[in-house]
Structure 1
Amino acid sequence: MDTLDALADGARTELTDHILPYWANRAVDVEHGGFVGRIDGHDRLVRGAPKGSVLNARILWTFASACRVLDTDRWCDEADRAYEALRDAFRDPVHGGVYWSVAPDGTPVDPKKQVYAQAFTVYALAEHVRQQGDDAAEALAWAQGLYRRIEEHAVDSVHGGYIEAFARDWTPLADVRLSEKDADAPKSMNTHLHVLEAYTTLYRVWPDAGLAARLRALIELFLDRVIDAETGHLGCFFGMDWAPVSTVVSYGHDIEASWLLDEAAAVLGDPSLTDRVREASLRIARLTLDALDADGGVFNERDGGHLDTDKHWWPQAEAVVGFLNAFERTGDAAFAEAATQTWRFIQSTVVDREGGEWFFRVARDGTPYREEDKVGPWKCPYHNARACLEILERADASVTA
């Protein structure tokens, strides 16, 4: 059995027996509809917790993609539930866009317009359209409208790229941070990566010439500005003129970008752009091999001489996909071995065999941080479910090729 087949067997089981059932069984909000805002690290519901648009968009993306790939009625029904929750609770009927967070009953809590959240909503809606086809005209129109809002309000016409956040009415915001852990910088790699991801999927269902131009501009922005030409790593935070304002290297974002950039270039179909992206992508993937611990886990980040050796759930998921993508592009067995090692680490250490789902993060010795959420604004099914779905789709493509 080759690497892809072995990973596919494990991914199908992980997805259908562990990840998706946790969210369908434990995270549905039976009182208010949609999905709950928070479940703690001991699998206890936190009543009254706000619901985040990013979490809800990621839930929609996950179930829509699972419905499309697995063709299972249960996951299709959950996708419908997630779509209705996102539409009914988070959509701003006055100024457009989606709120950052709402109360369980749908009352806005934080109505700011974080471009990151707009992008994830576009990503989820576009995947819902891929799933439903012609039956998703409403979702497609909404995604197109959000795309136009982003382009109208968030584009920096002088230096390129997108400004991080705005007030509810799209006026400037004093503090544009995505979270308390982030720098208060006007531009971030993270937001741009997920705008790129969203535009890639939107282009699959709406091959608009203007959208293609914006996606190309994003890819070139990564190649020319976000990726450090000297180190090969991605910068994390930038000033308006793209001067770096951070020295952090985020290994999870590096390896995630390596395959998302490759995918974006492939969707556009320009061979010269694809070649440029592939060179940068493979360099990033090789650099990420150095972030692997002896047990196969991926370290969190490095800032100068300080290495954060915690292992968060999402870089592990992204590493499997990124290494697998690099293996498919090169045939280099080192990437296949890395993908396999990280998958084994996930299965042995990151998956919560008793409570379900994956731990948010574990220490270097494998001890889980129980104070971290199982469900929350930053804990979702998108990274781990997507890794499984990517493996399954790539395995299927290799059979039919």
Structure 2
Amino acid sequence: MNRESFKISLEKELKDGILNYWLSNTIDHKNGGFFGQITYDNIVHKEADKGSIMHARILWTFAAAYNQLKNDKYLELCDYAYDYIKKVFIDKNHGGVYWMVDYLGNKVDGKKQIYANAFVIYAFSEYAIAKGIQEPLDLAMDLFHKIEEHAFDKELNGYFEAYSEEWVLMEDLRLSEKDKNEKKTNNTHLHILEAYTTLFKATKDKQVGQQLKNLIVLFLDTILDSNTFHFKLFFDENWTLKSDEISYGHDIEGAWLIQEAAQELGDVTLLERVKDTAVKIADVTLAEGIAEDGAIVNEGDPTGITDTDRHWWPQIEAMVGFINAYENTDDEKYLIAAHRLWEYSIEHLVNKEFGEWWWRVDENNTPNLEEDKVGPWKAPYHNGRACLEGIKRFEKLAQTTSIK
């Protein structure tokens, strides 16, 4: 296996597959924004509702792609996405981001899910870096202050999950029906962390930096099980664990995102601690979560694997997590694991007939035809970001090797 050929394969899928698909098939030229639902076989549901998470993920992906690849087409799409999000998803009265609008851009669900608000911070911060302008940063900072004012638990630490349009804590806090109705979750904290990482990168704001460091330490001391090196998933307000589920994708995704956050902060002592943790999480994922075919399974619990399906996003997040572990250790086993995940994804998760990626396949590699390729949760963010990360990291490794 050759790192250069690995990088070339990532570049090809990113440009010709992922980004080209979203540029060519998802823009709602008539009503604005992006279509809210496209099935696996490219049937467009033009009147489907449009989600703030999907739109933010599209903006972030193309802004990050522009920042790395400097393709003007990507920046044009960013301008379009930014204008739409600003117009229809930002609550002009109460602040924050709406959850859902209809196909015409009218609010249909005004709740303030902190997860979604974090993604808009993430997207606006990356877009501000791409454009070199202040307005998206001002809007991102407004969202940051809203989250800190309403959702941050000043007594027990962490962030509550969801609020009404008027910022009243909701009874049903769930992101989706499959989630437990608990006040604090690993998932939301992870995506606040990635949002604050990019906001800090763009602003170097002291308060953002303080809260980012707090999140890193919270993950290390509270959310991580230091005996198993799995991240715990659901908690009540007192940080009492409310589930024993293991999400292998969230484990390995969290490992590299927390390291990225510590690197951005520049805290050397914290970074060394995070690097050690990231490698230990990679080791556990490799030992427990990787199937014989090289794919990462979806879920487990203390008794073993409970869900052998291969969802698209854990495959590709695990690839980055293993490349990250390789950078930390120079141990080829992690690079081999990353390459196997990439080869598996290209072979079984890319929808070769209709474009983009399947949501998931089962252990026999049979795709699930009921789940859409474009929807409230499905955007180019996971697979697009993983390609960008892989390319960037291999380029850095090549420079380091040539210097040596």
Q: TM-score range by the shorter chain?
A: over 0.9
Q: Deviations over 1:119-146 (max 9, x none)?
A: 000000111012112xx21101000111
Aligned mates of 1:300, 1:81 — CA distance in 2: 35
TM-score normalized by structure 1?
0.97
1:107 to partner: Cα distance: 0.8
Aligned mates of 1:241, 1:173 — CA distance in 2: 17
Q: Deviations over 1:188-235 (max 9, x none)?
A: 000000000000011111101111110110000001100012211000
Aligned mates of 1:24, 1:92 — CA distance in 2: 27
Q: Is the 8 A contact 2:47 2:102 kept in 1?
A: yes
In structure 2, the residue matched to 1:123 is 122
1:247 to partner: Cα distance: 0.6
Partner AA of 1:155 in structure 2? F
Counterpart of 2:179 (choices 174, 179, 182) is: 182
In structure 1, the residue matched to 2:34 is 35
Counterpart of 2:135 (choices 131, 138, 160) is: 138
In structure 2, the residue matched to 1:69 is 68
- Please provide the CA RMSD for this pair: 1.0
Q: Deviations over 1:349-380 (max 9, x none)?
A: 01011100000000101100011011001111
Partner AA of 1:298 in structure 2? I
SS state at 1:109 partner: strand
In structure 1, the residue matched to 2:291 is 293
* 1:195 is aligned to 2:216: no
Aligned mates of 2:396, 2:333 — CA distance in 1: 22
Aligned mates of 1:339, 1:130 — CA distance in 2: 29
Alignment gaps of 5+ in structure 2: none
In structure 1, the residue matched to 2:397 is 398
Aligned mates of 2:2, 2:373 — CA distance in 1: 33
Aligned mates of 1:117, 1:149 — CA distance in 2: 13
In terms of mean alpha carbon deviation, does 274-283 or 119-128 score higher?
Answer: 274-283
In structure 1, the residue matched to 2:109 is 110
Q: Deviations over 1:27-72 (max 9, x none)?
A: 1102101111110122211121110000000000011111111111
SS state at 2:306 partner: strand
Question: How many residues are aligned here?
Answer: 398
Partner AA of 1:324 in structure 2? I
Aligned mates of 2:31, 2:270 — CA distance in 1: 47
1:397 to partner: Cα distance: 2.2
In structure 1, the residue matched to 2:146 is 149
Query: 1:207-218 maps to which residues of 2 (within 5 A)?
Result: 207-218=204-215
Identity across matched positions, percent: 45
SS state at 1:307 partner: strand
1:391 to partner: Cα distance: 1.1
SS state at 2:270 partner: helix
Query: 1:211-250 maps to which residues of 2 (within 5 A)?
Result: 211-250=208-247
In structure 1, the residue matched to 2:53 is 54
Partner AA of 1:257 in structure 2? G
Partner AA of 2:320 in structure 1? V
Aligned mates of 1:137, 1:266 — CA distance in 2: 24
SS state at 1:240 partner: coil
In structure 2, the residue matched to 1:2 is 2
In structure 2, the residue matched to 1:308 is 307
1:82 to partner: Cα distance: 1.0
In structure 2, the residue matched to 1:333 is 332
SS state at 2:31 partner: coil
In structure 2, the residue matched to 1:353 is 352
Q: Is the 8 A contact 2:40 2:354 kept in 1?
A: no
1:6 to partner: Cα distance: 2.4
Partner AA of 1:229 in structure 2? S
In structure 2, the residue matched to 1:91 is 90
1:398 to partner: Cα distance: 2.8
In structure 1, the residue matched to 2:268 is 271
Q: Is the 8 A contact 2:189 2:215 kept in 1?
A: yes
